[in-house]
């Protein structure tokens, strides 16, 4: 009996052990707490029921911190196995504390499927470490600037990084208050809120503008910590900051490249549409707006005869002349290739005809390139709002339609849009019937274009691309029917069909032992704005058996910034399932670094236009390098699209790109041909 009792007492239930440990314990799957002990709840000031079966987002100081950990944590586990790190976390009452995380995944290769964590409050330990900085070489060797003040906020010490960033020597600031660095950018309320947060929570962090000794102002990333003594009284303040000027310059460059064409300096399509919608909304009965679509006739032939460099010089000169010929009320933009759009306010149609004819005549005057004289002709199409419509996209389409109808080889032409030109309604009715029938009869096929890693050079992903096997026998490319499907509201059905076909096929490949990395599918703007999209994706994954952690959903830059909050909600729901997010065509929209950070993404796909232009254009080359450098800083993996030759690949490798997609490696392939490229896995 004694022996039996002893054995029973040695086998203490796991739940009892967890409840009596000194550490917080949590089991987390897809960033949701599935199990925790009482110590974990107490650590954050919650009841146990308040944290179990919830995501961990409310435990972080802000959404940015939550997303940053989400981007990096799984990669750390895959690389290191067991992980240990410290983060600032938030209690239920809003106060902040330093928390140490120690974790291990149930499966190191699939950490999304569950990780076990122990957590502990190391605030006191961290404060002691900060205090010890004063007595070690770390204070001087720190790359961050450090300011230490007394309890009244008078400076008692600074390090050499402080001098490097601000220009002030130590003896110039000792005994003075840090308000001497104020730039005048922020309001008194800003500083009041800063100090209120600092005294209430013991720390403050954020971006702030300060002034250097030479009078210039600069942005810095600042963290201030209040150091308390044994009596819990503030003894010192320690401020750590770094200069953000370089990051702001990168952001400015990205905004410029996103919104303006690097060759002509003119706004691009996204900026044009933004401006156009504002102008259309402001129209009154006495005002009209003309949309002029301009195209250089036989430009492709010019490129073939004179070379791409001469073609670029012609476009650059054309853009400069266009800006000189338009007035302050006009708006000029480059759409693509040799297509340009002008917005022009209209009083009388006769005046508009004269303006357009004069513009075309001036634009077709000789161009002098490489000591040669070149003559071109221009085709112009014109639509007018509101008589021809109130939609920016439709007005551009009508102007382009008129331009194409009026085109005369080697002759200038001006054509106004007429509704008899527009067969759109009848054509789209027929196309709608055919697309609906194609969905019902499974006429849509999926071709796969592989993505290759640099070293080793092997397939690490597939992009699923839709094709339409039309009953006529023709294989129709997406550029023909996808825009129509989007306009008709059928794109969600098409994309859903592609997702199901691709996942079903991918499961068959996995079961056959083929290795292909991740599967990427495209998402439409209507999908991104509806939470039902997440449910439909989850349903397909469950029905096909394809693992969520192997799926990537691709969105475009313009889709993400159209409704950033709604987009972020849907994307976060997808990521909670284990799905990765890629931003396609990056660099063609208008996305700042701050906007980029607010969108939960894992990969950036460098637009093919950068890859195409970077060999021959120094500005495109510099912008490509900037985007790749910025991506490394922000922790995004970059996939270069449209890689067609070895020179492009070599330059991308030089800039640090690791994943490539394009004709150099493979065209989009049907299932059987794609399978032939796979490397089987030995079970």
- Which helix (H) or strand (E) segment is 242 a member of? strand 234-243
> Do the Cβ atoms of 647 and 655 come closer than 8 Å?
no
HSE at residue 362, side-chain half, CA atoms within 13 A, is: 15
Mean pLDDT calculated for residue range 252-280 = 80
Distance CA 44, CA 582 (A): 34
Higher-confidence residue: 250 or 319? 319
- Examine the pLDDT at 316 and tell me if it is beyond 80: yes
Residue 362 within a domain:
yes
- Which helix (H) or strand (E) segment is 89 a member of? strand 83-90
Check whether residue 449 and residue 385 sit in a common domain.
no
pLDDT score at 252: 60
CATH number, position 192 = 3.30.450.20
CATH number, position 630 = 3.20.20.450
pLDDT score at 16: 59
Check whether residue 475 and residue 599 sit in a common domain.
yes
* Coil, strand or helix at 345: strand
Residue 248 within a domain:
no
Provide the 10 A C-beta neighbour count for residue 223.
Answer: 15
Mean pLDDT calculated for residue range 342-360 = 89
Residue 251 within a domain:
no
Mean pLDDT calculated for residue range 362-386 = 90
Confidence of residue 611 (pLDDT cuts 50, 70, 90): very high
DSSP label of 388:
T
Per residue in 117-158, pLDDT tens?
999 998 777 666 655 655 555 566 677 899 998 888 888 888
Higher-confidence residue: 226 or 139? 226
Check whether residue 215 and residue 274 sit in a common domain.
no
pLDDT score at 3: 39
Select from 182, 210, 243 the last residue of a domain. Answer: 243
433 strand-pairing partners: none
pLDDT score at 540: 96
Show the tokens assigned to 418: 């007429």
Q: Tell me whether the omega of the peptide bond preceding residue 353 falls within 30 degrees of 0, making it cis.
A: no
Provide the 10 A C-beta neighbour count for residue 224.
Answer: 23
- Examine the pLDDT at 34 and tell me if it is beyond 80: yes
Mean pLDDT calculated for residue range 384-409 = 84
> Do the Cβ atoms of 387 and 285 come closer than 8 Å?
no
DSSP label of 408:
B
Pairing of strands 603-606, 580-586: parallel
Confidence of residue 515 (pLDDT cuts 50, 70, 90): confident
Select from 372, 388, 422 the last residue of a domain. Answer: 422
Check whether residue 553 and residue 407 sit in a common domain.
no
Pairing of strands 83-90, 580-586: unpaired
- Examine the pLDDT at 276 and tell me if it is beyond 60: yes
Mean pLDDT calculated for residue range 437-459 = 92
Confidence of residue 202 (pLDDT cuts 50, 70, 90): confident
pLDDT score at 305: 73
Q: Which of 360, 377, 373 has its CA nearest to residue 297?
A: 377
> Do the Cβ atoms of 640 and 662 come closer than 8 Å?
yes
Distance CA 344, CA 663 (A): 41
pLDDT score at 6: 38
Show the tokens assigned to 240: 């750590």
Per residue in 154-178, pLDDT tens?
888 888 899 999 999 988 998 788 9
Pairing of strands 459-469, 518-522: parallel
pLDDT score at 138: 55
Check whether residue 319 and residue 408 sit in a common domain.
yes
pLDDT score at 261: 82
Distance CA 433, CA 431 (A): 5
Check whether residue 497 and residue 568 sit in a common domain.
yes
- Examine the pLDDT at 457 and tell me if it is beyond 80: yes
- Which helix (H) or strand (E) segment is 115 a member of? strand 115-121
Distance CA 613, CA 627 (A): 14
Q: Which of 55, 60, 18 has its CA nearest to residue 39?
A: 18
Pairing of strands 234-243, 217-228: antiparallel
Residue tagged 């409704």 (tokens)? 563
Based on the structure, what is the number of domains in the chain? 4
Q: Measure the CA dihedral 564/567/573/576, to 10°.
A: -60
pLDDT score at 260: 77
pLDDT score at 129: 64
Higher-confidence residue: 422 or 264? 264
Provide the 10 A C-beta neighbour count for residue 554.
Answer: 21
Q: Which of 466, 500, 462, 501 has its CA nearest to residue 482?
A: 466
> Do the Cβ atoms of 558 and 270 come closer than 8 Å?
yes
Check whether residue 280 and residue 389 sit in a common domain.
yes
pLDDT score at 534: 92
Check whether residue 89 and residue 213 sit in a common domain.
no
Check whether residue 377 and residue 474 sit in a common domain.
no
Q: Using only C-alpha atoms, what is the Rg of the chain?
A: 30
Check whether residue 416 and residue 556 sit in a common domain.
no
pLDDT score at 620: 83
Select from 121, 147, 176 the last residue of a domain. Answer: 121
> Do the Cβ atoms of 228 and 202 come closer than 8 Å?
yes
Confidence of residue 652 (pLDDT cuts 50, 70, 90): very high
Pairing of strands 518-522, 551-556: parallel
**Most confident listed range (22-26, 131-135, 226-230):** 22-26
Buried b (16+ CB within 10 A) or exposed e, 18-42: beeeebbbbbbbebebebbbebbbe
Q: What is the DSSP string of 244-282?
A: -HHHHHHHHHHHHHHHB-TTT--B-HHHHHHHHHHHHHT
Confidence of residue 52 (pLDDT cuts 50, 70, 90): very high
Min mean pLDDT across 52-66, 125-139, 305-319 is at: 125-139
pLDDT score at 140: 67
Residue 186 within a domain:
yes
**Most confident listed range (20-24, 500-504, 565-569):** 500-504
- Examine the pLDDT at 308 and tell me if it is beyond 80: yes
Confidence of residue 479 (pLDDT cuts 50, 70, 90): confident
Full-model pTM:
0.45
Mean pLDDT calculated for residue range 251-271 = 75
Min mean pLDDT across 3-12, 464-473, 592-601 is at: 3-12
Show the tokens assigned to 247: 């990051």
Confidence of residue 5 (pLDDT cuts 50, 70, 90): very low
Percent of the chain with pLDDT over 70: 87
Residue 250 within a domain:
no
Distance CA 612, CA 607 (A): 9
Buried b (16+ CB within 10 A) or exposed e, 593-609: bebbebbbbbbbbbbbb
Distance CA 554, CA 521 (A): 6
> Do the Cβ atoms of 254 and 592 come closer than 8 Å?
yes
pLDDT score at 180: 93
Check whether residue 461 and residue 362 sit in a common domain.
no
CATH number, position 352 = 3.30.70.270
Residue tagged 């009869």 (tokens)? 441
Provide the 10 A C-beta neighbour count for residue 136.
Answer: 10
pLDDT score at 9: 41
Residue 346 within a domain:
yes
User: The domain containing residue 410 runs over which residues?
Assistant: 256-422
Pairing of strands 580-586, 444-453: unpaired
Mean pLDDT of the chain: 84
Q: Which of 164, 160, 165, 166 has its CA nearest to residue 139?
A: 160
Distance CA 656, CA 632 (A): 9
Check whether residue 181 and residue 116 sit in a common domain.
no
pLDDT score at 4: 40
Show the tokens assigned to 51: 């944290």
pLDDT score at 228: 78
């Amino acid at each position: 009996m004694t022996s039996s009792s002893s054995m029973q007492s040695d086998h203490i239930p796991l739940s009892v052990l967890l409840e009596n440990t000194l550490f917080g314990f949590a089991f987390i799957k897809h960033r949701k707490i599935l199990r925790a002990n009482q110590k974990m709840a107490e650590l954050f000031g919650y009841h146990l029921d308040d944290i179990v079966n919830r995501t961990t987002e409310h435990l972080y100081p802000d959404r940015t911190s939550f997303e940053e950990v989400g981007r990096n944590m799984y990669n750390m586990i895959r690389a290191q196995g067991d992980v240990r790190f410290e983060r600032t976390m938030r209690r239920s009452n809003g106060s902040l504390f330093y928390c140490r995380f120690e974790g291990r995944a149930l499966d190191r290769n699939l950490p999304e499927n569950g990780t076990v964590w122990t957590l502990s409050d190391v605030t006191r330990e961290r404060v002691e470490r900060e205090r010890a900085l004063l007595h070690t070489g770390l204070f001087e060797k720190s790359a961050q600037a450090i300011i230490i003040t007394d309890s009244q906020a008078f400076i008692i010490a600074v390090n050499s990084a402080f001098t490097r960033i601000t220009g002030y020597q130590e003896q110039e600031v000792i005994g003075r208050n840090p308000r001497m660095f104020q730039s005048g950018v922020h309001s008194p309320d800003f500083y009041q809120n800063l100090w209120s947060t600092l005294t209430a929570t013991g720390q403050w962090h954020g971006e702030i503008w300060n002034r250097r000794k030479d009078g210039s102002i600069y942005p810095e990333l600042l963290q201030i910590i209040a150091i308390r003594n044994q009596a819990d009284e503030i003894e010192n303040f320690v401020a750590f900051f770094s200069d953000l000027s370089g990051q702001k310059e990168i952001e400015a460059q990205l905004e410029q490249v996103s919104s303006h064409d690097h060759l002509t300096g003119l706004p691009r399509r996204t900026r044009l549409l933004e401006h156009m919608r504002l102008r259309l909304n402001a129209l009154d009965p006495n005002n009209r707006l003309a949309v002029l679509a301009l195209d250089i006739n036989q430009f492709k032939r010019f490129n073939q005869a004179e070379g791409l460099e001469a073609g670029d010089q012609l476009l650059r000169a054309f853009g400069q002349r266009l800006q000189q010929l338009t007035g302050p009320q006009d708006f000029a933009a480059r759409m693509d290739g040799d297509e340009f759009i002008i917005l022009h306010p209209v009083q009388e149609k006769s005046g508009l005809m004269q303006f357009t004819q004069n513009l075309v005549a001036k634009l077709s005057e000789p161009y002098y390139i490489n000591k040669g004289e070149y003559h071109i002709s221009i085709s112009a199409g014109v639509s007018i709002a509101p008589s021809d419509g109130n939609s920016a996209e439709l007005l551009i389409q009508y102007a382009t339609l008129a331009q194409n109808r009026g085109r005369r080889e080697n002759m200038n032409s001006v054509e106004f849009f007429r509704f008899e030109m527009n067969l759109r309604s009848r054509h789209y009715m027929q196309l709608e019937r055919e697309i609906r029938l194609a969905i019902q009869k499974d006429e849509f096929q999926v071709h796969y274009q592989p993505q290759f890693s640099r070293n080793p050079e092997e397939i690490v992903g597939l992009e699923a691309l839709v094709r339409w096997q039309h009953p006529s026998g023709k294989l129709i490319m997406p550029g023909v029917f996808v825009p129509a499907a989007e306009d008709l509201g059928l794109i969600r059905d098409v994309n859903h069909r592609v997702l199901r076909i691709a996942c079903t096929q991918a499961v068959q490949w996995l079961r056959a032992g083929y290795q292909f990395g991740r599967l990427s599918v495209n998402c439409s703007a209507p999908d991104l704005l509806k939470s039902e999209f997440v449910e439909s994706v989850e349903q397909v994954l469950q029905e096909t058996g394809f693992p969520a952690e192997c799926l990537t959903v691709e969105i475009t830059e313009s889709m993400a910034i159209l409704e950033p909050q709604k987009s972020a909600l849907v994307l976060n729901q997808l990521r909670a399932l284990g799905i990765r997010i890629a931003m396609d065509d990056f660099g063609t929209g208008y996305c700042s670094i701050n906007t980029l950070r607010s969108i939960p993404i894992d990969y950036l796909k460098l637009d093919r236009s950068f890859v195409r232009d970077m060999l021959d254009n120094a500005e495109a080359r510099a912008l490509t390098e900037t985007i790749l450098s910025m991506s490394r800083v922000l922790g995004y993996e970059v996939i270069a699209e449209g890689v067609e030759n070895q020179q492009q690949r070599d330059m991308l490798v030089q800039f640090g790109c690791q994943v490539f997609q394009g004709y150099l490696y493979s065209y989009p392939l049907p299932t059987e041909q794609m399978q032939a490229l796979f490397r089987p896995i030995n079970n």
